[in-house]
Amino acid sequence: MIDPTGRFAIVAGNAEDIGHAVARELAAAGMTVAVLCDQADAVRALAEEVPSAHAFVTDFTDADALRAATEEAVRRFGTPRLVVHNSAVFREVPVLELDVAAFKAESDSILQSAFVLAKAVWPHMVQARDGSIVFVSSGSALSGFAGEAAYVAGKHGQEGLMKVLALEGKEYGVAVNTITTGAPIDGPLAYTYTDALRAVMVPPSRLAPAFAFLAGIDADFATGQRFNAFQLSEAIRTTREGVSA
């Protein structure tokens, strides 16, 4: 394991939900964090709240804008030890009502943005022979759901991209993995949950320790894998409680 203290991390997407919790966790672990988000007010508020977090406003469906924001973060803070991609747009639309522009915008927010973000940091990580990239995935990456053609396609593609990058990055020590929440999250998509799922929702902060853990791995530890954030975070919590007991 690599000590991430004093290192740099990029967290891309959703400064109000998982991205917020992850940025706080990484900052608490001693990392400088660049938070890329399309919600200007939310990401700026986060940067004000967390001194070692820095706001970068961008558009995840605009490849040039995302590339420029990522490159600016790297120029300011150096090669990232960790990159977390958590960008997505979710809309429930039947295929008969889904046009090409809407499909592209939603899938681009997931798959294209994952590629652009990884591509922007890739040469720096390869040269340093160091780094961990994590794509936030979901059940939609393995299964299909009615009304989610664009979202499911984007998440399936993201899993495939991860597998290719893991193969190409292994010889350079760069770890590339995906991670699912592993539990229903109390956040913007909670309205889609059944009553049974709402009853077992957890706050995003319960998942954040898993991301801090992945900030310290390399390809020799794990690459090309699919982690469960809730299970990993609970294991970390249990271990900490055992040590402190």
| CATH label of the domain that carries residue 31 | 3.40.50.720
Asked if residue 245 has pLDDT above 70, the reply is no
Residue 125: pLDDT over 90: yes
pLDDT digits (tens, 9 = 90+) for 215-240: 999 999 999 999 999 999 999 999 88
Q: What is the per-residue pLDDT across 20-63, written as a single tens digit (0 to 9) for each?
A: 999 999 999 999 999 999 999 999 999 999 999 999 999 999 99
Residue 115 lies in a domain: yes
Q: What is the number of domains present in the chain? A: 1
Distance CA 184, CA 211 (A): 17
Region 159-187: what's the mean pLDDT? 94
Task: Look up residue 2 and give its two tokens.
Answer: 């690599």
Amino acid, single-letter form, for residue 219: A
Residue 201 lies in a domain: yes
Report yes or no on 71 lying in a domain: yes
What is the per-residue burial (b if ≥16 Cβ within 10 Å, else e) of 224-240?
beebbbbebbbeeeeee
Q: Tell me, yes or no, whether 2 lies in a domain.
A: no
Let me know if residue 83 belongs to a domain. Answer: yes
Domain extent for 58: 8-240
CA 55 to CA 218: how far, in whole Å? Answer: 27
Residue 192, domain member (yes or no): yes
Asked if residue 64 belongs to a domain, the reply is yes
Question: How high is the pLDDT of residue 36?
Answer: 97
Residue 126: pLDDT over 80 = yes
Q: For residue 245, tell me if it sits in a domain.
A: no
Q: Evaluate if pTM is beyond 0.75.
A: yes
Q: What's the rounded Cα separation, in Å, for the pair 231 and 183? A: 9
**What distance in Å separates the CA atoms of residue 36 and residue 39, rounded to the nearest whole number?**
9
